[in-house]
Chain A
Amino acid sequence: MNILVCVKQVPDNAVVPKLDPATDRVIKEGVETMVSPFDLNAVEAGLKLAEEHGGEVTVLTLGDDTCKTSLRIALSMGAAKAYLVSDPALEESDTWATSYALAKAIKSIGEFDVILCGKQAIDDDAGQVGAGIAEQLGASLVSYVNEITEVTADALTVKRVSPAGEELVQAKLPVLLTCEKSLNEPRYPTLKRTRMANRMEIPVLDCAAIGADAGKVGKNSPSAIKKLYTPAPRQSGEVIKGDAEEIAKIGVAKLVEQKII
């Protein structure tokens, strides 16, 4: 079973992101990075599938050279190969262009039975790239997966989060799954694998190498960010202190008064 996992390197979410007033972009310099948490669930799911059903895991990301850090984390968890898609033309790509470029890269790397992504990256919070890749590859799509229940030679059966609760879905291979946090518990890298990962070559692919039309990506994306801004901070309101019974009654009275309940 050939498995590919897409990961994204994002700023550490323990830090409040700040905007650079000059460029109107989120400041990334000097900010620690992390692999977007749901992508680690995707890596773990890929490794488990490979262990139980054979095959290997390839990881892929798109970004600048610093994003090799995230690929090495996936390698040190157990992935066999890693590729970085990097090209100045891809800067400011929207989710359409990102999924287009990633799908082109996947096609240029090889054939895969299962492609895994996190349900969304915790910086853009869009959750659209996985679905876009599935479409571009002509693969089945099941998003928000929280359990893989059955694996056969030509299909996967998985549970996904649905508006009504959960659904059990059977999908023909090749399939792209986007992963929920509850799918698994990502493993920690071992020291031995980390050493190996640090020595591994990570090929860098540009638009020409993957056959992506530079005129469709980056600044030519179908959508663009006009402006980023920090929302007005929420003001703290009234503090209610005192005897428990009294403050409970005051609390309810306030909610009734304001017609909230």
Chain B
Amino acid sequence: MSNKNVWVCLEQTDGKIAGVSYEMLSEARKLADQQSGEVCAVLMGAQVQDLAKDAFAYGADKVYICDDEKLKNYCCESYCKVLENLVKENQPDILLLAATTVGRDLAGRLASRLETGLAADCVALTLEDGSLVATRPTYGGNIMADVIFPEKRPAMCTIRPNAMSKAEPDAAKSGEVVAVALDIEEDAIRTQVKEVLAKAGGEISLADAQIIVSGGRGLGDASGFDLIREFADTLHAAVGASRAAVDAGWIPYEHQVGQTGKTVGPKLYIACGISGALQHLAGMKTSDVIVAINKDEEAPIFGVANYGIVGDLYKVIPVMIEEIKKVLAAR
């Protein structure tokens, strides 16, 4: 018999909890309160005990910690085994994981093993008649799907970063910590991280970024990204790009935003010299605020922009950088 508890698999890298984990906890708290359930968090990694207090602050009632040197790097088999054991023992109603390259890898394998439903990359969760309805974008965000879970539990979802709001943390809160042992046979481990290759010095990843500054064909050439990087640095933003800029070889693929690149939803997206092809819009149109800077007033990007600045980006952006510096310096 499953209960009405909502579980969250916290994502952490090198002892730092990812922002999406707090968003999931905040959402889990809301759902659990509606159905009088508990929020339970699972924390896996090496030397991660200290992170439990953050989970409590964001709404967890209980934190299961599997702390093991072998979990330092993500390992699909080990992480999956820990979660499988916990789910089978505790029978949660709902289980949330992050829609990142780790969470999606883990959730896909686990759902298949548990023979339960999994909705990917969800942006909203609601309860209808006591059952979860998960809303997720499909077709590059052109169609939304409401997914239901008729019988099998837990209802599993991966949650898109930046899609749900974070509650105010309450540092005074605490709860029960349950230590969990890693219980997996050596030969069941079939994949091993040999090396972690970090991003170039201090670069902010598109997935985590609150602000993204993107450049497109309108930059004219590769050196245009120097200005985009300077703009991004001023705002502590990540650098994005349109497919046209990536195809032109001006910037590596990992910066590509769009249907065949990354889907992002930051608080602020600044599109510079990007016309706004359908495939690009699919990757960024759920951003909270969109600013477009483009010479061509007819560009489709202006159709989705909250603020459309019609002008030469090489004249506009340097002034914006100086203005923003002034604003930030005055704070």
Residues of chain A having any CB pair with chain B under 8 Å: 11, 13-14, 16-17, 19, 26, 37-38, 94-96, 99-100, 122-132, 134-136, 139-144, 157, 159-172, 175, 180-182, 221-231, 234, 236-242, 244-245, 247-249, 251-256, 258, 260-261
Among A100, A258, A261: residue with most chain B CB under 10 A: A261
A162 touching B102, Cβ below 8 Å:
yes
B197 touching A132, Cβ below 8 Å:
no
The interface residues of chain B lying within 8 Å CB-to-CB of A122 are 139-140, 259-260
B178 contacts A by Cβ under 8 Å? no
The interface residues of chain B lying within 8 Å CB-to-CB of A167 are 73-74, 193, 195-197
B309 contacts A by Cβ under 8 Å? yes
How far, in whole Å, are A171 and B105 apart by their CA atoms in the complex?
14
Among A140, A142, A222, A252: residue with most chain B CB under 10 A: A222
The interface residues of chain B lying within 8 Å CB-to-CB of A128 are 104, 107-108, 111, 118, 120
In the complex, 17 of the A-B residue pairs with CB atoms within 8 angstroms, ordered by the A residue number, are: A13-B278, A26-B139, A123-B139, A125-B137, A128-B108, A128-B111, A132-B112, A164-B13, A164-B199, A168-B193, A168-B195, A169-B191, A169-B193, A234-B303, A242-B311, A245-B315, A249-B323
The interface residues of chain A lying within 8 Å CB-to-CB of B278 are 13-14, 16
Residues of chain B having any CB pair with chain A under 8 Å: 11, 13-14, 18, 73-74, 76, 100-102, 104-105, 107-109, 111-113, 115-121, 133, 136-152, 155, 190-199, 205, 207-208, 211, 235, 252-254, 259-261, 263, 267-268, 278-279, 285, 288-291, 293, 297, 302-312, 315-320, 323-324, 327
B312 touching A252, Cβ below 8 Å:
no
Given contacts A131-B108, A163-B18, A245-B319, contact A223 B149 (CB under 8 A): yes
Number of A-B contacts (CB under 8 A): 282
Q: Distance in Å from the Cβ of A247 to the closest Cβ of chain B?
A: 5
Q: Distance in Å from the Cβ of B31 to the closest Cβ of chain A?
A: 17
Given contacts A236-B302, A244-B315, A244-B316, contact A163 B205 (CB under 8 A): yes
B193 touching A131, Cβ below 8 Å:
no
A164 touching B323, Cβ below 8 Å:
no
Given contacts A237-B307, A247-B316, contact A141 B253 (CB under 8 A): no
A143 touching B105, Cβ below 8 Å:
yes
A163 touching B13, Cβ below 8 Å:
yes
Q: Distance in Å from the Cβ of B245 to the closest Cβ of chain A?
A: 15
B307 touching A131, Cβ below 8 Å:
no
Q: Distance in Å from the Cβ of A197 to the closest Cβ of chain B?
A: 25
Q: Distance in Å from the Cβ of B288 to the closest Cβ of chain A?
A: 8
How far, in whole Å, are A258 and B290 apart by their CA atoms in the complex?
13
Among A127, A229, A251: residue with most chain B CB under 10 A: A251
The interface residues of chain A lying within 8 Å CB-to-CB of B143 are 17, 19, 26, 228-231
Sorted nearest first, the 6 A-B pairs with minimum C-beta distance are A131-B108, A223-B117, A248-B319, A244-B315, A222-B117, A135-B112
How far, in whole Å, are A247 and B253 apart by their CA atoms in the complex?
31
How far, in whole Å, are A56 and B81 apart by their CA atoms in the complex?
33
How far, in whole Å, are A236 and B149 apart by their CA atoms in the complex?
36
User: Which chain B residue lies CB-closest to A253?
Assistant: B323
How far, in whole Å, are A222 and B198 apart by their CA atoms in the complex?
38
User: Which chain A residue lies CB-closest to B207?
Assistant: A163
The interface residues of chain B lying within 8 Å CB-to-CB of A164 are 13-14, 196, 198-199
B311 touching A244, Cβ below 8 Å:
yes
The interface residues of chain B lying within 8 Å CB-to-CB of A100 are 112
Instruction: Pick from A14, A170, A241: contact of B191, CB below 8 A.
Output: A170
A142 touching B191, Cβ below 8 Å:
yes
Q: Distance in Å from the Cβ of A13 to the closest Cβ of chain B?
A: 6
User: Which chain B residue lies CB-closest to A252?
Assistant: B323
The interface residues of chain B lying within 8 Å CB-to-CB of A130 are 108
How far, in whole Å, are A131 and B79 apart by their CA atoms in the complex?
14
User: Which chain B residue lies CB-closest to A254?
Assistant: B307
The interface residues of chain B lying within 8 Å CB-to-CB of A132 are 108-109, 111-112
The interface residues of chain A lying within 8 Å CB-to-CB of B308 are 236-240
Q: Distance in Å from the Cβ of B212 to the closest Cβ of chain A?
A: 13
A125 touching B105, Cβ below 8 Å:
no
Among B13, B100, B118, B196: residue with most chain A CB under 10 A: B118
B142 touching A17, Cβ below 8 Å:
yes
A260 touching B267, Cβ below 8 Å:
yes
Instruction: Pick from A141, A165, A238: contact of B109, CB below 8 A.
Output: A141
User: Which chain A residue lies CB-closest to B75?
Assistant: A169
Extra contacts, 12 of them, besides A95-B118, A249-B319 (Cβ < 8 A), are A96-B116, A122-B139, A122-B140, A123-B139, A125-B138, A127-B121, A161-B101, A164-B199, A222-B150, A239-B308, A251-B316, A252-B324
User: Which chain B residue lies CB-closest to A124?
Assistant: B138
How far, in whole Å, are A124 and B145 apart by their CA atoms in the complex?
9
How far, in whole Å, are A230 and B310 apart by their CA atoms in the complex?
29
Q: Distance in Å from the Cβ of B261 to the closest Cβ of chain A?
A: 8
A172 touching B115, Cβ below 8 Å:
no
Given contacts A256-B327, A261-B235, contact A161 B254 (CB under 8 A): yes
Q: Distance in Å from the Cβ of A259 to the closest Cβ of chain B?
A: 10
B324 touching A226, Cβ below 8 Å:
no
How far, in whole Å, are A122 and B162 apart by their CA atoms in the complex?
21
Q: Distance in Å from the Cβ of A192 to the closest Cβ of chain B?
A: 28
The interface residues of chain A lying within 8 Å CB-to-CB of B146 are 225-229
